[in-house]
A = this chain, B = another copy of it.
Amino acid sequence: MSSSGTTHHTTGRDRLWSVDEHLDDILATVRPLEPIELQLLDAQGCVLIEDVTVPVSLPPFDNSSMDGYAVRVADVAGASEEFPAVLTVIGDVAAGQGEQPTVGPGEAARIMTGAPLPPGAEAVVPVEWTDGGLGQGPATGMRAHSAAPEGASGEVRVHRPAEARAHVRARGSDVRAGDRALTAGTVLGAPQIALLAAIGRGTVTVRPRPRVVVMSTGSELVQPGEQLADGQIYDSNSFALTAAAREAGAIAYRVGAVTDDAEILRSTIEDQLIRADLLVTTGGVSVGAYDVVKEALDSIGDPDDEEGLGAGGGVEFRKLAMQPGKPQGFGTIGPDHTPLLALPGNPVSSYVSFEMFVRPAVRALMGLPDVHRTTARARLTADKALTSPAGRRQFLRGRHDADAGTVTPVGGSGSHLIAALAHADALIVVPEDTTSVEPGTDVDVVLLG
């Protein structure tokens, strides 16, 4: 492991990066994960990377769309309730039954929804168009076969004629063998899983959900539920970002708080690399003397550093033209060039940074077509003008009213105002070149969830 602290191997750290430049760098670096074959239900929410062709037509055979009787058209021509066609019932055709009886002239087979149209039959008459074999006028249904097996024999009176193919679903009327069922790039929700199952696909090739390891850093951090000593605060970032990573589609592992010791942090990161497609740290990225994330990662990634974390491209620490979220680190580390995003430690800064940078990275790893949150324009509702520093893109917490087309700020701009964040459902974006936004002005909002 190389020594920490002073090596400067890139130039980006010395200038101010825009939000878009930093995001573009991340999205240019993060590649979609390699596809794997997954069981259908394990692929839910994932992106299909194969074009799926229908191997067998659906339905695979002509079948009945009703519970009723399979008949020959000529036998029921002109039938009415007054002058019913009287047919001999030669048996039942239930769904999933192997052998079917052949329906000859003057005969009918009792047939269930989904059951194959038996040989000889040309149409199905619903049971409601018959006496159901009971000889007592129009039937409302069939008696259970287990309770009344005699329903599969005897006679049935048919009260209405049926055209050829009536109440018959034709083989291939849903999809035909050789049709394209789904194209590569489709996100698999319940209806797509339905189709894949229906055409017999037990597994599919998709990009898997990324495994995101979340760790917060700071010697002051205490696990919620424990007792605070002087100068300590509770670790909230590792909980918030683990939840946010899951919500973005990831499998998230919360490592929790790591103390401000560069060696401990380096070895923790090294241990976690084995299960990480993406690493997220919070804290320790600013200009302080105990900013251990910076200290631990700033010097690694040199091409000739062959040990430990060094094999990636290295992590660069930058200042962004952004509030909150000015200090940010990004790069790749370890033998698999695993991307690492080092976020600032203030809870609101880290959450906003997650939304702006980590969420798109997670979705890019999944290969999702759209990595961004939905945005909207909304009219600012506020008592007074919003102020924002010149040259920085500001993200304020707000509540969005979609019906009214308005957004109202919640809490102030302080990056520690976690309580306000918990009551917001949107981020109000104040552009770099804007220092004041009057009430009534239209603003961009990022809709959270």
Identify the stretch in A77-85, A158-166, A377-385, A415-423 within 8 Å (CB) of chain B at 4 or more residues.
Answer: A415-423
When the two chains form their complex, are residues B419 and A351 in contact, meaning their CB atoms are under 8 A apart? no
Q: How large is the interface on A (under 10, 10 to 19, 20 to 34, 35 or more residues)?
A: 35 or more
When the two chains form their complex, are residues A288 and B67 in contact, meaning their CB atoms are under 8 A apart? yes
Of B5, B40, B243, the residue contacting A44 (CB under 8 A) is: B243
Residues of B within 8 A of A449 (CB): 189
A140 at the interface (CB under 8 A from B): yes
Of B40, B219, B243, the residue contacting A41 (CB under 8 A) is: B243
A447 at the interface (CB under 8 A from B): no
A303 at the interface (CB under 8 A from B): no
A97 at the interface (CB under 8 A from B): yes
A23 at the interface (CB under 8 A from B): no
- A230 to B97 Cα, complex, angstroms: 8
* Bitwise interface map of A from 1 to 17 toward B, beta carbon under 8 Å scored 1, else 0: 00111100000000000
When the two chains form their complex, are residues A239 and B345 in contact, meaning their CB atoms are under 8 A apart? no
| 6 A-B pairs with the lowest CB-CB distances in the bound complex, closest first | A202-B225, A96-B220, A141-B287, A96-B219, A194-B240, A67-B288
Query: Which positions in A face B, CB cutoff 8 Å?
Result: 3-6, 40-41, 44, 56, 58-61, 65, 67, 92, 94-98, 100, 110, 112-116, 127-128, 140-148, 151-152, 169, 173-175, 179, 181-182, 189-203, 218-226, 228-237, 239-244, 246-247, 254, 259-260, 262, 286-291, 294-295, 345-347, 351, 414-419, 421-422, 424, 448-449
Some 8 contacts from A to B, beta carbons below 8 A apart, are: A5-B147, A41-B242, A96-B219, A96-B221, A96-B260, A194-B422, A200-B224, A203-B225
